[in-house]
Structure 1
């Protein structure tokens, strides 16, 4: 449907969250459609998965460019595909401040901790060392500060006595696959409503 919000998914790895986002239409009628899957790793397994879903893909290595130059290339791809929202799904590349400002309020990320706890990497080990009762994941709006934007939704995962970082990570990933599609859907539904209201307003 043409009224769906146009979403690009950026990834660097195997693409399990991409799969969850793409498969969500089997159980719901989401307000979004994935119009591009991009990566800074041309050999990323997630790109193969995207092609199996029949999704357009784009990839370019960041290794021979500085951050600003690479993000300019990403931005060009987003605009050429008329992207409205960017969903980061295991995208292991920090975005430049200029890019984040250009897409302010329209970039979402899924992070494997209950933010504001454990920003950055190695979240599961840090939760275990702290003796936390719960770990989990958060979907948040991306800002210039790392893992610091407004949290849209979270899912808690109880830490079991015998958990290690690997077993905990596996269960948190399952929670991510449930949380991210629903949250992106809700976000895009609200965005679509605001967009349609603006179009219908006097002078819109």
Structure 2
């Protein structure tokens, strides 16, 4: 029975109809996000071809999808919630609110206000702007700037439903992505005997 299951999975992935499989996955994911204002997310380690990666599980009572990413960081979570590999970025009011929450110094806010505002930028374009105009920005602050601009884009885009309530553990990569965060009772119950 197990070998038949592995064979079926192999046939799905090696078939020429991979586009159909991907289209169905995208449809299930979008419908799942539309089905509820809340989504549950959790992460677990995975090995892909001998390399450590992270599997993200997004679900509610009506669906479950799995997405494997190279990293277990906030940018990866934002990409998973948008069902995208390549992130896009925008500088707007929300970006600066988030930068304040991330404790990025005001001098960097002021420098960023010289960059294009309310303009959607690809990852390459945004990183190029940061390299050119904020070259002395340290790596931690640069990560926070990328996160803030990616979250801002996520909230303004209309290609996929934006999650209102994210149910998860207390890991930092889940914080500030959605308007509301709820701790999963399974994770919370671990603190009590």
Q: TM-score, normalised by structure 1?
A: 0.25
Q: Which has the larger radius of gyration?
A: 2
